[in-house]
Amino acid sequence: GTGRFVPTPPYSPYVYDRVKAAEEAQQRLWVPVLRSEEDMYVDMNGPQPNMNDEEKPTNQHETSISLEEHAAPRVDEEREKKPAIDSKPQIRVRNPPGGRSSIMF
């Protein structure tokens, strides 16, 4: 590399003093959250989900969606009447993916 080696002692104060200052600043911003028993209570006798075996389909490939319910694709009559013309340009541009280079070799 082209960098310069800077000798520093292990656990350099230059780095670790900054880390310690950042941690102390974060500690000053911390706000304790007070939780009560009511907040932490979980009712195990509450409502349970209804699991009926009759409602489950026997085959997982069956679906409740019907394609006939959806609208058919719209056909544009004016577009159908026009002749089919290739809309791609016929001029080939020969540039590399990054763009044209102005460097001469």
More confident residue, 72 or 18: 18
Rounded Cα–Cα distance for residues 60 and 63 (Å): 8
Alpha-carbon distance 55 to 13, whole Å?
Answer: 68
Using DSSP's 3-state secondary structure scheme, residue 78 falls into helix
pLDDT tens per residue, range 20-50:
999 999 999 999 888 888 888 888 887 777 7
CA distance 53 to 37: 38
Query: Taking the CB of residue 57, how many other CB atoms lie within 10 A of it?
Result: 9
- With a threshold of 0.75, does the pTM exceed it? no
Q: What is the pLDDT of residues 13-23, one digit of tens each?
A: 888 899 999 99
